Amino acid sequence: KYMAENSEYHYYDFVLLDETTEAAFLSNLKKRFSKDLIYTYIGTLLVSVNPYKELDIYNMKQMDLYMGVNFFELPPHIYALADNAYHTMLTEFNNHFILISGESGAGKTEASKKILQYYAVSCPSTTLLNTVRDKMLMSNPVLEAFGNAKTLKNYNSSRFGKYMDIQFDSQFCIALQSFILCSTCLGPLQAFSTWGMFSLTPTVKAMPS
């Protein structure tokens, strides 16, 4: 039903395109973006375009819609990707990972936040677990303060790679690890269109040479 309703002007899945060309790909992406449809599938892959504005698609109502629903039953969404990974893990008893890739300013950090927020809401709740989840979600501003910097394309650009290990068990234990800190981005590197990391630059300047 969803595919039939949307196939008149664009496709929710690039696999459905009649022509597998770059022009057809970009045309479909542009049509969807013009209607604020920033997510599109390529099979089980999710393509996301940064809208650079607030969209009313991240709330409890949307989360409830995607919980336990077939991956292709509803419009493409980051919640669908998160839910699919979670339930596949439960049924297959295997570790799963979500790889988020893109250029600076593409929205990778925000995508990871949405996934964490979805898991924080969709998983079983207790007072102890809520405390753990709150700490998990509140860790993002701390990491950003120590590893983000302003660039020409992105005011709050992550200058490091981040690996998040989320372990699901009876206590919903969570381990968060960040790595690949880009030390070359420290300081006022205008030559690279990059300003210093928000918190690390003053720290480095205060260190003895």
Report the candidate in 39, 42, 34, 43 with the shortest Cα–Cα distance to residue 79.
39
102 is in an annotated binding site: yes
Distance CA 33, CA 175 (A): 35
172 alpha carbon, distance to own chain's centre: 21
109 is in an annotated binding site: yes
107 is in an annotated binding site: yes
103 is in an annotated binding site: yes
106 is in an annotated binding site: yes
Instruction: For 2, list phi and psi in degrees, rounded to 5.
Output: -60, -40
104 is in an annotated binding site: yes
- In residues, how long is the chain? 209
158 is in an annotated binding site: no
Query: Which amino acid would we find at residue 187?
Result: G
H/E stretch holding 11: none
Q: What ranges make up the beta strands (E) of the chain?
A: 39-42, 45-48, 148-151, 157-158, 160-166, 174-181, 194-197
30 is in an annotated binding site: no
Detail the residues annotated as belonging to a binding site for ATP: 102-109
Detail the residues annotated as belonging to a binding site: 102-109
